[in-house]
Structure 1
Amino acid sequence: MSQPSNQYNRPLPPEIYRRRRIAAGVGLLVLVLVLVLIVRAITGGGGDSSETAADSSTSSASAAPSESATGSADASSSASTSETSGSSGPSSEESEGADPSESRTAEPTGTCNVDDLRLEVRSGAPTYAGGQLPDFIMSVTNNSEADCTVDLEANPMSFEVFNLASYERIWGDTDCNEPTATEDIDLAAGESRNFALNGWSRTTSAPDQCADRADAGTGAFLLYGHLGDKVSEPATFNLA
Structure 2
Amino acid sequence: MEIIAEIGQNHNGDMDLALRLIDEAKSAGADVAKFQVYDARALFSKEGNPWFDYNCRTELSRRDVETLARRCEEVSIEFMASVFDVERVAWLEEVSVRRYKIASRSVRDTALVEAVAATGKRLIVSLGMWGEADFPAFHVPGGVDFLYCIAQYPAPLESLRLERIDFSRYAGFSDHSIGTVAAKVACARGARILEKHFTADRSLYGPDHMGSMTPDELAELARFRDMARVCL
Structure number having the greater strand percentage? 1
TM bucket, shorter chain? under 0.3
Give TM-score scaled by structure 1 length. Answer: 0.19
Give TM-score scaled by structure 2 length. Answer: 0.19
Which structure has the larger Rg over C-alpha atoms? 1
